[in-house]
Amino acid sequence: KRLIAGGLFCLYGPFNYEGQFTSDSNRLFDHHLRSQASHMGIRNMDDMLELAGRVRFGLESDFDMPANNRLLVWRKL
């Protein structure tokens, strides 16, 4: 099924902002992920926003969470 207009989608995890890691632990985690597979790694918010725009989602909220993670709340437009 597809999310209807106005529906919410939440995404939890670490993200880079302006291409920069938010902590040394996230940098190490990214290196660990990429050592397993080159397509893995911490995603950049600029890329997330661009993708969201293409599929008609708008960022509602960006919450700081424990352990250098974020909770992103997206709304289907």
pLDDT digit string, tens, across residues 20-63: 999 999 999 999 999 999 999 999 999 999 999 999 999 999 99
* Residue 70: closest CA among 50, 47, 42: 42
Helix (H, G, I), strand (E, B) or coil at 51: helix
Q: What is the mean pLDDT of residues 57-74?
A: 98
pLDDT of residue 1: 75
Question: Model-level pTM?
Answer: 0.92
Report the alpha-carbon distance of residue 71 to residue 67 in Å, rounded: 12
- Give domain limits for the chain: 8-76
**Strand partners for 71:** 12, 63
Residue partners of 30: CB distance under 8 A and separation at least 6: 14, 21, 41, 42
Residue 42, token pair as written in the block: 């911490």
